Amino acid sequence: MIPVDDSPIIRDGKSLILAYDHGLEHGPVDFTDVPERMDPETVFDIATHDAVSAFAVQKGLAEAYYPSYEDDVNLLVKMNGTSNLWMGEPDSPVNCSVDYAAEIGADAVGFTVYSGSNHEVEMFEEFRDVQEKAREYDLPVVMWSYPRGQGLKNDTSPNTIAYATRIAHEIGADIAKVKYPGSQDAMELAVKAAGATKVVMSGGSKTSDEEFLSTVNSAMNAGAKGLAVGRNVWQREEPAHILDALEELIFNGKSVEAALE
């Protein structure tokens, strides 16, 4: 574990990670309603908002655009990721080495682990290699901790999400990104299970401002240390508006109502 609070991706102990790997994970359909956001430059621009403490992209986008944004964006290189074109037990190829991520300027690395998949053994071991190498570079490690696979029926049950944060803690993630488990109590359990690992809520698919902020608020009240959000920001017409609100809510401790003003 590294003193992650000293990392640029953390501000006052909290983090707002803007994620933009949907082009790989979901394909062009995620841009149907916001075609201009298919251009990574538009979302790099959004990531310059003060509220965003880290911007998570795959290697290819980092290589192409980060050099123009290195003063204004903290780069979180997402190390693995897959298309949704194939079928089978969840797995995710490692698309970037830590050495290369460091070379292109990463401030942190991200890694998806599908615990419960028949590929869990392999993914844990890939995570080990990434985590230990990241330690050499003092790069915080964010785990997308997503239980998924033939053995799991309801992947957002309280115990499953608490198991997800605990796994992240046990095998050495600094930050665990998990889905909202449905209630503030369940999120509290997940935060406790996480021990010294910080928990950030996964933003999920797009909802209304109020609904989204309420959930974030509930997660923060439960002890989460922030948010990793993609579609709920960049699929919006005015991303700055929701980012302003998130900044008030997450970093300045305002209520949902006050944040939305």
3-state secondary structure 47-78: CCCCCCCEEEECHHHHHHHHHHHCCCCCEEEE
β-sheet bridge partners, residue 15: 226
Q: How far is the CB of 232 from its own copies (least distance, A)?
A: 21
Residue of 59, 78, 133, 177 marked catalytic: 177
Q: How far is the CB of 135 from its own copies (least distance, A)?
A: 7
Q: Is residue 179 flagged as an active site residue? A: no
Tell me how far CA of residue 249 lies from CA of 31, 99, 157, 202, in angstroms.
27, 36, 25, 16
Q: Is 95 or 156 the residue whose CB approaches its own copies more closely?
A: 95
Measured in whole angstroms, the distance separating CA 248 from the mean position of its chain's CA atoms is: 19
Of the candidates 48, 52, 43, the residue with the CA atom closest to the CA atom of residue 10 = 52
State whether residue 201 is helix, strand or coil. strand
Q: Is 131 or 218 the residue whose CB approaches its own copies more closely?
A: 131
Q: Is 38 or 260 the residue whose CB approaches its own copies more closely?
A: 38
Q: How far is the CB of 23 from its own copies (least distance, A)?
A: 4
State whether residue 230 is helix, strand or coil. coil
Measured in whole angstroms, the distance separating CA 137 from the mean position of its chain's CA atoms is: 20
Q: How far is the CB of 16 from its own copies (least distance, A)?
A: 22
Q: Is 87 or 238 the residue whose CB approaches its own copies more closely?
A: 87
List the catalytic residues.
177
